[in-house]
Structures are given as structure tokens and as C-alpha cells.
Copies of this chain bind each other. A is one copy, B any other.
Amino acid sequence: MRHQSVEVFRVSCSGPGDLSGVKALVASGRLVVADIVAVMGKTEGNGCVNDHTREFASVAWCHWLAAALGCSPEEAGRRVALVMSGGTEGVLSPHFTVFTRRWINGPAPAGPKRLVIGTAQTRDFAPAELGRAAQVDATAKAVREAMAQAGIASADDVHFVQVKCPLLTSTAVQRSVDLGTEPVTRDTYESMAYSRGASALGVAVGLRELTRDAVTDEVILRDFSLYSARASASAGIELDHNVVIVLGEAAGAASSYRIAHTEMADAIDGKAVQALLAGFSEPARLVNLLAKAEASHDGRVRGQRHTMLNDSDISATRHARAAVGGVLASVAGHTALYVSGGAEHQGPAGGGPVAAIFHLGDPA
């Protein structure tokens, strides 16, 4: 019987195109290129519309993977799910989290569930489909495909679903308007929120946290009581479809990693994350936190006014990453954390989902 062994490497970088740390891992024999199935990167751009560091990192990865795998850069980009999230505001440190998976034949390990991973991609979207039902449905379908690939039968065993989704540039807006298809918004920065929101609701449908009927065009970015507790979506200029990474646990996996998740009730809910870490009873080292951050839409945190949504100099997602990055780093004790901005329909309004990946038997 075939079962999987997943490994997770958190690798620092000196810039969006710096893969020297990854190359060193390969040279040391610890990382095998052909095993890489997904990369979640934090790059030092603004995380908004004109963040080219995401594309730069993706291009660098594709070129390097292509040379190592003997394929074209485009093919490398199809084989490996590359999700780059821009924005390392405040203390956050640019890095890549690299996931490998190896299929092992033989009797499945006994014992508790272990980390597994699956990936999938949707078709390309037309500009007018972003932020609407078409994106919800395609995402839900991709989530189920990725779960199947990961060998996860029950949605309860899914702890984090990362989606990389497109945004609208002014060129795309204009093209869509010229075609007579009005996009959900003409504002490029706002299009990121719509794309994330529809993707997150797609995850919620895929994981059966919400019924498909509950998710109409009208609720997207309107009814924030609807959300997935495990979705994380990042929008970027570098793709036209959704990429989905499902992280969960399955019995019989041979990984020496585990994953757990919680919800931050608001942007300063460090206590939830302390409880998540304290609640993990096995001897283990925290590899990384994966989290979403947002400026609460009601303009308040614990009843007090914040200024993030009125700031025309710094985008609200940048503020949110900086603040939540501080909160999480003070709990985790390190700063190379995956904190992504814009948590529309991802966790409760004003808060967000957080997952923790642990390496077992390594309590350092």
C-alpha cells in the first residue's frame, strides 16, 4: 500500500529572487527537488496590485525548478503549486515554506494522523468572473480535488487551505468593460478583496462549512458572518486562475509533521494562538504559523477606532499584516511567519484563521 511522507522546510531568503538557501538544502541532500509539491513564499513587496516581487519569486522558482527537473519553466509552474504572498511589514521576515511529498510503498505506519498535502488548479477566469459565483464554484471543486489527492476523506481533517487567486489590473478592467461585461469592481485594489472573498467562500463550500445555496453574489464582501475557518486566500497579478493547496492530516501517512488550526477572534487575539501552541501535547518544534490578517470592516478593534481603512498612504492589508505579524511573532518567538493580508470570509470578521505546523520529536 502506498502512503505519503510530507516534509516542510522554512527557508530564509535575501530577496524575492534568492534561492541560495533552497539550493543549499538540495546540496546538503536534505531536500530533493523532484519531491517539491508546493511553495508558500512571503516576499517583500507591498502585497497589493503593483507587487511584482510575487511574480519575480515565481519566475525565479520556475527557472530553477525547470533546470533541475529538465522541463520548461511553464511546465515547472504547473507541477509545483507556487503561492507567493507579498508583504513583510513590521517584523515579518521574507522566506519560503517548501513542502515535499514522497510516496512510499509498504505497510502504512500506525499511530495518529500525520500531515498530508494535496494541490489543484482551476481553469483561467474571465475578469468578470472574479469575485462572483463562478470563482466560488471552481474553487470548491479544486478543494475537493486537492483533498482527494492528499488522501483526506473527511473535511474535518483539513486544517488549512491556501488559495492563490488573480486580481484585476486596470487593463483587465478596461478590457472587460469594453466587452460589455462589467467586472465586480473597477477598483484594482478592491478587486483583490473580491477575489479573495469569493475564493474563501469557495473553500467554505468545498469543506462543507457552508452550503452552496448560502453563497450568492450578493453576500460576497457583504455578509461577513459567512466564512471558512480554514481558508487563506492571496491575490496576485501573476496568474489568471486559482491555485489551491490543501493541508491536513490522514491516518497512515508517514510524515513526521502535524498540523493544527484555530481562529483569531480579532487582530490582537494572541491568546488564541498561545492556546493553539499550548494545546499541542507532543514534543515538537513549531515550523511555521500560517495566518490571515485584516483590518476589521467596522473600523474598530475591541470597540476602539482604528485608522487602517481611512489611510490613503498605506493600504489596510499592509497595516494588518504588520500588526498581526507582531502579535504572532511575540507568541511564536520568531518572525519568518506566513502572515497574509485580507481575510475576507477567512475566519471571523476582523480576525482570521491560523494554522501551526509542527515537526515531531524535535522540541528545539
Q: Is the CB of B89 within 8 A of A319?
A: yes
Q: Kindly identify, within residues 266 to 305 of chain A, every residue whose CB is under 8 Å from any CB belonging to chain B.
A: 267-271, 297-299, 301-302, 304-305
> Given A17-B55, A44-B52, A323-B323, A89 and B304 touching (CB < 8 A)?
no
Q: Is the CB of B59 within 8 A of A170?
A: no
Which of B59, B186, B298, B308 touches A56 (beta carbons < 8 Å)? B59
Q: Is the CB of A93 within 8 A of B306?
A: yes
Find chain B residues with CB under 8 A from A24 CB: none
Q: Is the CB of A14 within 8 A of B91?
A: no
Copies, count:
4
Q: Please report whether the interface of chain A is mostly helix, strand, loop or mixed according to DSSP.
A: loop
Q: How far is the CB of A300 from chain B (nearest CB, A)?
A: 8
Q: Kindly identify, within residues 37 to 80 of chain A, every residue whose CB is under 8 Å from any CB belonging to chain B.
A: 44-46, 48-53, 55-56, 59-60, 63
Q: How far is the CA of A301 from the CA of B91 in the complex (A)?
A: 7
Find chain B residues with CB under 8 A from A31 CB: none
Which A residues are within 8 Å of any B CB, using their own CB? Answer: 12, 14-17, 44-46, 48-53, 55-56, 59-60, 63, 88-94, 169-171, 174, 186-190, 221, 237, 267-271, 297-299, 301-302, 304-315, 318-320, 322-327, 329-331, 333-336
Besides A90-B323, A268-B326, 4 other A-B contacts (C-beta < 8 A): A50-B313, A89-B319, A94-B305, A327-B330
Please give me the 6 A-B residue pairs with the lowest Cβ-Cβ distance, nearest first.
A48-B312, A90-B323, A326-B326, A322-B322, A270-B330, A323-B326
